[in-house]
Amino acid sequence: MSRQPRPERHPGIRPRPTIWRRLDAAGRRALPAAFSVLLVLLLCAPLGLPEQQALLPGTTMASVFFWSVFRPASMPAAVVFMLGLLYDLLSFSPPGIAILTLLIVHACGLGWRHGLARQGFLLVWMVFLLVAAGVIGLDWALMSAFSQRLLPPQPALFELALATGLYPLLSALFTWAHRGIADPTLA
């Protein structure tokens, strides 16, 4: 997904960084985090979608993973922590589980970004599948430990299937945003 820099008409000549240009660049840098927060808010709202709560982990993990790989400056660990805290508070899950799992997804994406950013979509998707499987398995184990009984694995497997199936759709949307409206160099 590496792209060539745009050829400049007048090399070395840059427009003055006005307040509007700086605000535009800041807004573009904040767009991935804002979109992730919007996803959490929408999926925690009572919209009446079937299995709406099961969509939340997959979409949040996909967002954190994609932006950690392709635009890590727009998805720092502090933003991931706040996103996990919002997730925990709005979904009534045990405190800290979403924070931990999202920070693990972020660490994996950030740690492997140099290798993954140059690879094709299928390999990135497979790596996301492995990360999501590990994180959802950890989430299931922590929830089982928290409830002091072994929970059935079917909901966790369903969340994994949703995360795996949603990643290509979300990745296409995020790629469009990454190359366009969320690109601070276009400000």
- From 49, 28, 12, 47, select the one nearest 162 (Cα to Cα): 49
How many domains does one find in the chain?
1
DSSP structure string for the chain: ---PPPPPSSTT------HHHHHHHHHHHHHHHHHHHHHHHHHHS----TTHHHHHHHHHHHHHHHHHHH-GGGS-HHHHHHHHHHHHHHHTPPTTHHHHHHHHHHHHHHHTHHHHTTS-HHHHHHHHHHHHHHHHHHHHHHHHHHHTS---SHHHHHHHHHHHHHHHHHHHHHHHHHHTTT-GGG-
For residue 66, is it within any domain?
yes
Residue 7 pLDDT greater than 70, yes or no: no
**Is the torsion defined by CA of 149, 94, 59, 77 positive or negative?**
negative
Domain that holds residue 67: 32-43+52-174
For residue 120, is it within any domain?
yes
Report field, pTM of the whole predicted structure over 0.85: no
Averaged over 81-90, what is the pLDDT? 91
For residue 10, is it within any domain?
no
For residue 107, is it within any domain?
yes
For residue 132, is it within any domain?
yes
What mean pLDDT value characterizes the chain? 84
At residue 4 the predicted structure's pLDDT band, cuts being 50, 70 and 90, is low
Residue 95 pLDDT greater than 70, yes or no: yes
For residue 21, is it within any domain?
no
Residue 24 pLDDT greater than 90, yes or no: no
Looking at residue 46, its amino acid is: P
For residue 142, is it within any domain?
yes
pLDDT tens by residue, 104-122: 999 999 998 888 878 888 9
For residue 62, is it within any domain?
yes
Averaged over 131-156, what is the pLDDT? 92
pLDDT tens by residue, 43-78: 888 888 777 888 888 899 999 999 899 888 888 899
Residue 3 pLDDT greater than 70, yes or no: no
Residue 161 pLDDT greater than 60, yes or no: yes
